[in-house]
Chain A
Amino acid sequence: MRLLPLKNCWVTGVTIALYCSLVFANDSRVILPESANDNLELLLQHDIGDELPSNYLEVFVGEQTNCCSGKSAVAGRYFVENRKVTFEPAFEFILGQSYTVVSRSVVGSNHGTTQVQEFSIEPSEKTVRPSVVGIYPSGDTLPENTLRFYIHFSTPMRPHLTTKFIRLLDAEGRSDTAAFMNFKQELWSKDRKRLTLLMDPGRIKRGVAQNMRLGPALVEGNRFSIVVKEGWPSANGDSKASRFEKRFLVSERLSTLPQIDHWQISVPHVLTQDPIIIDFDRPFDRVLAQHAINIIDQNGKPIQGTVSLQKNEEKWIFMPQETWLDTTVQLVVDTRLEDVAGNNLKELLDKALLINPEETKNQDLDATTQRRWLKLRSG
């Protein structure tokens, strides 16, 4: 159908009138891409017949001022559907790169207009390609009662897709669909770059219905892997993460309480900025270990510094911001600190495992911290 005359537009209503005036101004309309993988579209007022679609719509690299005579157009494919010409570029558009679109409303006639317009797709801050940058605990060998996994992404991710993209596979590649806790609410960090994945505690705790019915999800002596399947979209939907797999061997259960007396603590010299290094008696929860252990001075004031975890979360390193001045400092450990199996300093996750109740006899079960004085080495 050819264009409605302008006066007809007026009688049909304000919205239509506006549309008509737009169409009249340009005779055809180009829909520009909004993201790197979008196509371009040209909406025409007539069929193009046997004409080449490239006579109607072409995209060139560069700014409008230098376009486009003598230049080759960007390669791609055309699709013609009724009065719509779609250009699908052979490759994605480059973010931040200027492109110029040349569109024609009628080819080979003086009546048509040629539109030249420039566009560029601005990179958003979140255009880092999404990928899994780490899964913790990072060890290749994990205890059978491992409770929590942290999956770190390079960029904020779209939520509510955990069950679709994450799998626990056994050595034969069989998926255990009941391995992880299935909350309504997923456990994402505020920036949605870290996902906390909880093994279903019902599978871990002995004698609980789930454990009785399905057995533990991880079985000592066997190999498993956590797979993040390909295609998880980033929060802004720009692109998708590639596949990631963490393989590990399952070792025996961690069935004793963590003991800070068993930690090997290496103390620095006074008047240096050397670190305090703790070799734990087991791997600890990465997130908790970064906050639950502090160093205070003789007046009880926290000493500032940065904490890093190494050796599969079995080594804690505290790098002070300033030179050590006190000859003694205090190590303060929050008793809520948990090992990778969710055992804290006061109780085991699975109390059925407490073989020796004497173990906790000397502990002050009301204490919220455990403390040790550390004597720094003399300069």
Chain B
Amino acid sequence: MARRNNMISLIVVLAGGMFSMSGAYASELDIEFAGALEFSDTGTLFVGDNYNGSIYAFDLEAETKSEKVVPVNIGDIDVKISDVLGVAPSALSINDMAVHPLSAEVFISVSRIGNFESAPAIVKVAQDATIELVDLNSLGFQKQELASYPNQDTTFRPRGLGKSPPMVRDIAKGNIKLSSLAIMDMEFYKGELFVSGVAFDNFLSTLRRLPYPFSGEQTLASVEMYHISHDQFETRAPVRAMSIQEIDGKPQLVAAYTCSPIVLIGLDEIVDGAKIKARTLMDYGNGQPIDMVSYSMNGEEMLFLTSNSRSPHVIPVSSLNNAKVYTPEELPRGGKSDMMPIMPVGDTGKTVMFDGMSMQIAPLGDSLFVSLTRDMYTGSLNMDSNYNGFPNRLHNLTAEFDFPQYWTDKAK
């Protein structure tokens, strides 16, 4: 933080303190990393801080309701955020994105890499496409420290592919801390925040359940699941993306893992100290999920899953009712990659077209998705808002319709 006028900063600190909600765990904002984002229905923004093992809840309920939601499109969004933060785009890392439920403003959490260390920042993209730094110090907030949080020392063990030794870029994984996976995804549901990630330092795929407003109370449950394509029970790798849906008549967590099983966990199973055995419904193919967002298409609830290595997958929520649960006994043994005849297993969804790769996606109003999309040809990162029934641009495609003759001939 730059040198500030002492009097002004004192006033800001006091104001922050006064507006802090009761039961707050910190009077002064000490956020070190702005990672996973999630909004409550009324506009509280939850921010996961993987560095200090806490979740912050910022009061943004006063944002004005947007009567009509319009698409927001910004080319080179990373460059434009960097401009606001006073750095080159190479010094910016985008961590997550969420849309305010009332104002339809898009909030993006980033790390700004400074001269000696990185600083957390949240920027807000308004409906008129202006980009603004959110002054977190001016917001009322609550902080909840997470129990059994992993230490900041344990890192991944690098591996090569199959029998080949790890390459330099694989070895780099040996510098990544497990705590970077400690807060993966957050879902707010009926007054509670559900958090997926790893706890402790060596295992543990964990689901946390925190009442909001935070009371200090927290529930931790370990999750085990049968991973179809790895053909093993897994307890370490965490849920990457999730959504809470009414399935088989009760609220359940639909959870996506790397390479890429979808499992179900009843919310009633998430009790403190539980060792949950998740039910594996499908493995839709190799890859690593990024986001799972729910939306309605022609009156039907759908899940839209993005991945860092495959096109998005769309799963109708109703297809998960009475779905078959897979166990190792009924499947051929051994690892399974995409090309094996048995794959995908139990998939009730469809792979859909998406021009470019979505780094972050979220519903914008009822009929749009807003996405930070990496363009295939230019490599630029763009904020795109598209109709959720067909979330695409056509600028990178040339088809029959693009020929002038097509229209001339059609007019004849």
| Chain A interface residues toward B at CB < 8 A | 36-39, 59-62, 71-77, 79, 86, 88-95, 97, 99, 123, 127, 129, 239
A279 and B4 CA atoms in complex are apart in Å by: 54
- Known contacts A61-B88, A89-B2, A90-B133; 11 further A-B pairs (Cβ under 8 A): A72-B80, A75-B84, A75-B86, A76-B2, A86-B5, A90-B121, A91-B112, A91-B114, A94-B88, A123-B115, A129-B117
Contacts of A38 in B (CB 8 A): 2-3
A123 and B114 CA atoms in complex are apart in Å by: 13
A39-B3 contact in complex given A61-B88, A127-B115, C-beta closer than 8 Å: yes
B85–A36 touching, CB < 8 Å: no
Shortest CB-to-CB span from A41 to chain B, Å, is 12
A91-B83 contact in complex given A36-B115, A79-B8, A97-B88, C-beta closer than 8 Å: no
Which B-chain residue is minimally distant from A75 (CB atoms)? Answer: B133
- Convert B90-122 into 0s and 1s, putting 1 for each residue whose CB lies closer than 8 angstroms to a CB of A: 010000000000000000000010111101010
Contacts of A39 in B (CB 8 A): 2-3
B5–A94 touching, CB < 8 Å: no
Instruction: Give chain A's interface secondary structure class.
Output: loop
| B57 interface contact, C-beta 8 A | no
B131–A89 touching, CB < 8 Å: no
| B176 interface contact, C-beta 8 A | no
A89–B5 touching, CB < 8 Å: no
| B1 interface contact, C-beta 8 A | yes
A93–B84 touching, CB < 8 Å: no
A91 and B82 CA atoms in complex are apart in Å by: 12
A94–B3 touching, CB < 8 Å: no
- Residue among A62, A72, A75, A92 making CB contact with B114, cutoff 8 Å: A92
B80–A88 touching, CB < 8 Å: no
15 contacts between A and B (CB under 8 A): A39-B3, A60-B83, A71-B83, A72-B131, A73-B83, A73-B84, A75-B86, A76-B2, A77-B8, A79-B8, A88-B2, A88-B5, A92-B1, A92-B115, A127-B115
A90-B115 contact in complex given A37-B3, A39-B3, C-beta closer than 8 Å: no
A97 and B85 CA atoms in complex are apart in Å by: 12
Shortest CB-to-CB span from A292 to chain B, Å, is 36
Which B-chain residue is minimally distant from A130 (CB atoms)? Answer: B116
B91–A79 touching, CB < 8 Å: no
> What range describes how many residues of B lie at the interface?
20 to 34
| B132 interface contact, C-beta 8 A | yes
A93-B3 contact in complex given A77-B8, A79-B8, C-beta closer than 8 Å: no
Contacts of A239 in B (CB 8 A): 116
Which A-chain residue is minimally distant from B82 (CB atoms)? Answer: A61
A73 and B81 CA atoms in complex are apart in Å by: 10
Shortest CB-to-CB span from B3 to chain A, Å, is 5
B80–A94 touching, CB < 8 Å: no
A92–B83 touching, CB < 8 Å: no
B83–A72 touching, CB < 8 Å: yes
Contacts of B112 in A (CB 8 A): 91
A99 and B86 CA atoms in complex are apart in Å by: 8
Shortest CB-to-CB span from A22 to chain B, Å, is 26
- Residue among B83, B84, B91, B132 making CB contact with A94, cutoff 8 Å: B91
A39 and B85 CA atoms in complex are apart in Å by: 15
A74-B85 contact in complex given A89-B2, A90-B2, A94-B91, C-beta closer than 8 Å: yes
| B87 interface contact, C-beta 8 A | yes
- Convert B1-35 into 0s and 1s, putting 1 for each residue whose CB lies closer than 8 angstroms to a CB of A: 11111001000000000000000000000000000
Contacts of B86 in A (CB 8 A): 59, 61, 74-75, 89-91, 93-94, 97, 99
Contacts of B91 in A (CB 8 A): 94
A91–B1 touching, CB < 8 Å: yes
Shortest CB-to-CB span from B9 to chain A, Å, is 9
Contacts of A123 in B (CB 8 A): 115
A62 and B80 CA atoms in complex are apart in Å by: 12
A38 and B87 CA atoms in complex are apart in Å by: 16
Which A-chain residue is minimally distant from B7 (CB atoms)? Answer: A79
Shortest CB-to-CB span from B134 to chain A, Å, is 9
A61-B2 contact in complex given A91-B119, A92-B114, A97-B88, C-beta closer than 8 Å: no
Contacts of B135 in A (CB 8 A): 90
Which B-chain residue is minimally distant from A94 (CB atoms)? Answer: B87
Contacts of A91 in B (CB 8 A): 1-2, 85-87, 112, 114, 119, 121
A72–B84 touching, CB < 8 Å: yes
Contacts of A79 in B (CB 8 A): 5, 8
Which B-chain residue is minimally distant from A76 (CB atoms)? Answer: B2
Contacts of A94 in B (CB 8 A): 86-88, 91, 114-115
A92–B2 touching, CB < 8 Å: yes
Contacts of B119 in A (CB 8 A): 91
A18 and B8 CA atoms in complex are apart in Å by: 35
Which B-chain residue is minimally distant from A71 (CB atoms)? Answer: B83
Contacts of A72 in B (CB 8 A): 80, 83-84, 130-131
Smallest CB-CB A-B distances: 5 pairs: A75-B133, A74-B86, A129-B116, A72-B83, A72-B84
A76 and B135 CA atoms in complex are apart in Å by: 9
